[in-house]
Amino acid sequence: VQWVLQNHPFEIRYDLRGSSMASKRILKELKDLQKDPPTSCSAGPVAEDMFHWQATIMGPPDSPYAGGVFLVTIHFPPDYPFKPPKHVAKLLLFDREDKIVCFGPSLRPSSQACWLGSWTESGNLGLVLATAHCIGEADSVAFRTKVFHPNINSNGSICLDILKEQWSPALTISKVLLSICSLLTDPNPDDPLVPEIAHMYKTDRAKYETTARSWTQKYAMG
């Protein structure tokens, strides 16, 4: 599938191989969620985009997040469920000479050190790629609501093993959301995204809970 980026001499080639199988699987998960929703969370597509969901997680009652309503964004890759909802689909930009110009999912230059050149707001691009293999990636299960937690950073990224090496095609978004709920109840300070919060959790639990509760009241309530 190809699109032409309006007003720019570039062509976007978007890899959608496997998306038909992914669509069927995602639709099945949506129906299962609607039929048997988890107690503490819900999820569904944003508008009509089956590959982009928003989830709502209720703060567990036995945690400093109790009473909070947390929004989580989910992007499914085109090869789901063989790959976890961890990375946005591959997006490559080519010029008319078929030279690859690499961008992340937001059509901004990728943060990876795989390209050389410059970007201007007017859209005049003069990029020379250092390597022909360059893929923009971004965390695709992430909190939109700010959370004070050792395994969730300021960008909303989540450190959870089933979104990494422990992923299995047998897992579902429902199970992922339940695992996130469990992570809110029982943080894993030994595998932190935010070492400072992990240190506080280990050495001053009262301060950690007070701060987490304060953030919950500020960002996740009303």
Q: How confident is the model at residue 20 (pLDDT cuts 50, 70, 90)?
A: confident
pLDDT digits (tens, 9 = 90+) for 78-131: 999 999 985 443 444 444 444 444 444 433 343 333 333 443 333 444 333 322
CA distance linking residue 89 with residue 210, whole number of Å? 39
CA distance linking residue 186 with residue 149, whole number of Å? 10
Active-site residue identified among 41, 102, 159, 181: 159
Asked if the 19-87+139-219 domain carries CATH number 3.10.110.10, the reply is: yes
Active site residue 102: no
CA distance linking residue 17 with residue 14, whole number of Å? 9
Say if CB 31 and CB 44 are below 8 A apart.
no
CA distance linking residue 66 with residue 220, whole number of Å? 10
